């Protein structure tokens, strides 16, 4: 198993879904494989899917046309946009996102989004058409081995060559995608299987032989962890997205409020508890907050909850939390001891594990320890934060844009970010009052993620304000999805922070490559005119006095809105842990 992968589900003849007597007695109807695919989606409660038609998947699209009252198909402008939109839908709703494409380039264009979903544990079911089964392996037109290509980046995949396989495989796909540690599943269906008719009936999958998606924490592990936590003088929690995926937000709050333990978060864990909570001490990682990073190497007990000790969080592993006893609450056994050696591993669902662990913990306060985080924050505020959000320089900063968004949304918006400097600034300064509010590409770091992901998020939660914060580089990777926004009348708010650079790469070139800005300066088009071409309300801002009114106008609009903010060209993001350095070596400038 590759180290960064979700635990796989074996694709063998013995891995069959469990079925009940009820399923064997369920009335069947005689239909085509393509109609069966659509009926399976309806049975699984799918109300929207994202995709792009083509020859090898056309029979399924023909059936979708007949079932428009049941499933809304969103025509994205690129298959990568379909997977990212499905990710945004899944991340904000907690449901399985669905994407569909044809064979060959249609299927391969899905792969980036699938890989992103795999490393960020996002539940997706991706359906691809394939050439007829008698043409497999013949290099037929638009034939690619998408099962072979996608195997390293899916939780499970399967190729269907007989229509009769469709109900069982589709049921298994949804079960695997959503259960345990979620992840993407790909189902490839040959064209003849789509045309073939058979007797269809459907039963949801309740389990798969040899696959135990939700292990239950042992009493011994809970007691051992409780003993260590109860005796700790300087404990610290770092939580990740596992808290959100496990719906354990309230359980985490109960734990930290009972124990008084300061808690920090990874970027995918952001918003699990409100930003304003007094025990929320900020973000860890390469561009995280000063205190939580430095004090990771001073705590005596480190409690990791639903996070995987990514290298961007740990820095140099040889010097990471060596003084601390490490307790790891994790649903996926493959993540335990993978990067950081643990003293106690609690293998189980985060909500169940926290629910059972918290009663074993003593009520405490760690005022002196917590005050150290406050002291580090004051230093960081004076050195970095104040200049970011209350700048005196002439040019606009990324931080003050996020500050204005906070002011207009009161922290209730879902913020979808792309990858780069703006991502780190948004994660650092966005205020969140409710969970599932920070949607970003974490592990894969996919530029182009934000625009289509924001579409999916807004369609899943149309009553929520969804604001995409994007750099000028990443924006142009999926800018064609403005067409999807236009066609769907999707009221996404788009903020492009334009510094005319690939900003994060330029920052590294400045700090570590003697300012040799190789291929990072960008000559950009007129973004406002492009947005106006899609009938999207648009505005460009370059002066400080115009920023607040423009953000207020954007948020007040009930339609899609594009706001370009021209920011300082060579602004940098600090704090920063240089690659290969210890978290203690974090730089403030």
* Residues involved in catalysis: 79, 141-142, 191, 504
Alpha carbon distance 130, 225 (integer Å): 50
Dihedral angle sign, alpha carbons of residues 130, 132, 137, 141: negative
Angstrom CA distances, 221 to 17, 258, 329, 344, stand at 31, 20, 10, 6
Assess contact for 562 and 494: CB atoms under 8 A: yes
DSSP 17: B
Assess contact for 153 and 93: CB atoms under 8 A: no
Angstrom CA distances, 447 to 108, 114, 419, 454, stand at 17, 14, 5, 14
Residue spans of alpha helices (H) in 358-497: 367-380, 386-389, 398-409, 421-429, 450-460, 472-475, 482-488
Element (H, E) at 429: helix 421-429
Alpha carbon distance 354, 334 (integer Å): 20
- Pairing between strand 29-32 and 197-200? antiparallel
Alpha carbon distance 266, 5 (integer Å): 18
Residue 155 in 3-state DSSP? coil
Alpha carbon distance 51, 41 (integer Å): 14
Assess contact for 523 and 545: CB atoms under 8 A: no
Assess contact for 194 and 33: CB atoms under 8 A: yes
Residue 539 in 3-state DSSP? strand
Which among 366, 339, 364, 360 is positioned nearest to 224, based on CA atoms?
360
Alpha carbon distance 520, 500 (integer Å): 9
CB atoms within 10 A of CB 137: 10
Please, what is the end-to-end C-alpha distance for the chain in angstroms? 39
């Amino acid at each position: 198993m590759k180290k960064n992968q979700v635990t796989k589900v074996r694709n063998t003849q013995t891995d069959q879904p469990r079925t009940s007597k009820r399923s064997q007695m369920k009335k069947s109807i005689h239909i085509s494989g393509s109609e069966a695919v659509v009926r399976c989606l309806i049975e699984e409660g799918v109300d929207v899917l994202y995709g792009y038609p083509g020859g090898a998947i056309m029979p399924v699209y023909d059936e979708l046309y007949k079932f428009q009252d049941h499933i809304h198909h969103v025509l994205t402008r690129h298959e990568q946009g379909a997977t990212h939109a499905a990710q945004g839908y899944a991340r904000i709703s907690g449901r399985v996102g669905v994407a569909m494409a044809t064979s060959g380039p249609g299927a391969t264009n899905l792969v980036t989004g699938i890989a992103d979903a795999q490393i960020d544990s996002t539940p997706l079911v991706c359906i691809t058409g394939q050439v007829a089964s008698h043409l497999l392996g013949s290099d037929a037109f638009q034939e690619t081995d998408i099962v072979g290509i996608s195997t390293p980046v899916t939780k499970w995949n399967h190729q269907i060559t007989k229509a009769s396989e469709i109900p069982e495989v589709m049921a298994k796909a949804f079960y695997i995608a959503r259960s345990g540690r979620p992840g993407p599943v790909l189902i490839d269906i040959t064209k003849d299987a789509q045309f073939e008719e058979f007797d269809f009936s459907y039963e949801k999958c309740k389990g798969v032989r040899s696959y135990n998606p939700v292990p239950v924490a042992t009493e011994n592990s809970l007691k051992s962890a409780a003993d260590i936590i109860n005796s700790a003088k300087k404990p610290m929690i770092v939580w990740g997205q596992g808290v959100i995926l496990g719906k354990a937000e309230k359980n985490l709050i109960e734990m930290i409020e009972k124990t008084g333990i300061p808690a920090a978060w990874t970027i995918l864990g952001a918003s699990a508890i409100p930003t304003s909570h007094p025990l929320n001490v900020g973000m860890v990682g390469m561009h995280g907050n000063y205190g939580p990073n430095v004090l990771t190497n001073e705590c005596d007990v480190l409690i990791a909850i639903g996070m995987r000790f990514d290298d961007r969080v740990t820095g140099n592993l040889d010097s990471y939390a060596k003084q601390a006893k490490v307790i790891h609450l994790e649903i996926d056994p493959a993540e335990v001891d993978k990067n950081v050696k643990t003293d106690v591993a609690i293998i189980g669902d985060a909500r169940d594990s926290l629910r059972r662990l918290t009663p074993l913990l003593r009520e405490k306060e760690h005022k002196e320890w917590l005050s150290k985080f406050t002291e580090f924050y004051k230093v960081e505020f004076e050195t970095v934060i104040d200049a970011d959000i209350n700048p005196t320089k002439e040019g606009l900063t990324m931080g003050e844009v996020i500050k204005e968004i906070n002011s207009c949304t009161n922290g209730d918006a879902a913020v979808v970010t792309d990858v780069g400097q703006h991502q780190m600034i948004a994660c650092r300064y966005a205020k969140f009052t409710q969970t599932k509010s920070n949607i970003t590409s974490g592990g894969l770091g996919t530029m182009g993620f934000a625009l289509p992901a924001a579409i999916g998020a807004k369609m899943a939660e149309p009553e929520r304000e969804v604001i995409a914060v994007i750099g000028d580089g990443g924006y142009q990777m999926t800018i064609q999805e403005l067409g999807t926004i236009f066609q769907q009348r999707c009221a996404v708010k788009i903020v492009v922070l334009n510094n005319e650079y690939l900003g994060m790469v330029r920052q590294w070139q400045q700090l570590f490559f003697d300012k040799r800005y190789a291929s990072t300066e960008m000559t950009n088009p007129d973004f406002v005119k492009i947005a106006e071409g899609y009938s999207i309300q648009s505005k460009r801002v370059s002066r400080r006095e115009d920023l607040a009114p423009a953000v207020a106008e954007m948020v007040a609009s009930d339609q899609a809105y594009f706001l370009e903010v021209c920011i300082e060209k060579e602004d940098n993001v600090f704090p920063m842990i240089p690659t290969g350095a210890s978290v203690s070596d974090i730089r403030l400038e």
